[in-house]
Amino acid sequence: MTRSDLVDQLAERFTQLTHRDAELAVKTILDALSEALENGHRVEIRGFGSFSVSHRPARVGRNPRSGEQVMVPEKRLPHFKPGKSLRMQVDQSPGSGEKDLAVEPASKL
């Protein structure tokens, strides 16, 4: 599901909302969530899950081509942990709706 799919679904379910209002609602929610994470806050949506920021300290890495050591800077990364109800709902669903496509080896000419 993409952002525009979410907007379309919201506009269909709530007929009193125009498509523009649904777009604005989704944008407002995502902006508020992003801003809270930027400020280092945790966002919990009961029954769905929680968003938080994890911190990775700076470290010494290795360039895979040359083998030389490189300094990898510290990072702050968003993290999502699904809630119990969401985990159970997904676990009990019949399938994801997407099929894994097996890659066939190319035949030799």
* pLDDT tens track for 5-32: 999 999 999 999 999 999 999 999 999 9
Residue 43 burial (CB < 10 Å; 0-12/13-18/19+)? middle
Rounded to whole angstroms, the Cα distance separating 4 from 49 reads: 22
Split at pLDDT 50, 70, 90, the class of 100 is low
